[in-house]
Amino acid sequence: MNREAFPDRLSVLGMRFEARHGVLGWEKETPQPFEVDLVLHANLEAAALRDELAATVDYAALHELVRAIVVERTFDLIETLAGAITSAALVATDPTIVDGVEVRVRKPKAPIDGAFDTVEVAFTRRRSASGE
């Protein structure tokens, strides 16, 4: 498979959820805000030509996939959360359409004693040459 064959992107940005992730005990009990960006490296040419949902990725389904992981599961680290989202997005998408995934998870209310905007973890993963 030509690695350059997937130049297009489909993005769902700024997804916001209240969830329980963190190392500290209270973080598992008290929901706090998390933000997720999901960017798919894809071949969207067929979708552009055919104007059919079957030729692309259903971004509503992607949002639900991310919501289920963020809200229904709990992790100590946002790195693990981002990894779970990345893996799930690759499994859930058609390899003939989606070649890679970028995930950014932000925790704007991380327990840091000091001024900051957010803490962010970013993952970028490509399918292997065998299409996995």
Catalytic residues, which ones? Answer: 107
93-126 burial string, b = 16+ CB within 10 Å, else e? beeebbbbbbbbbbbeeeeeeeeeeeeebebeee
Of 6, 3, 70, which is closest to residue 38 (Cα–Cα)? Answer: 70
Rg (CA), the chain: 16
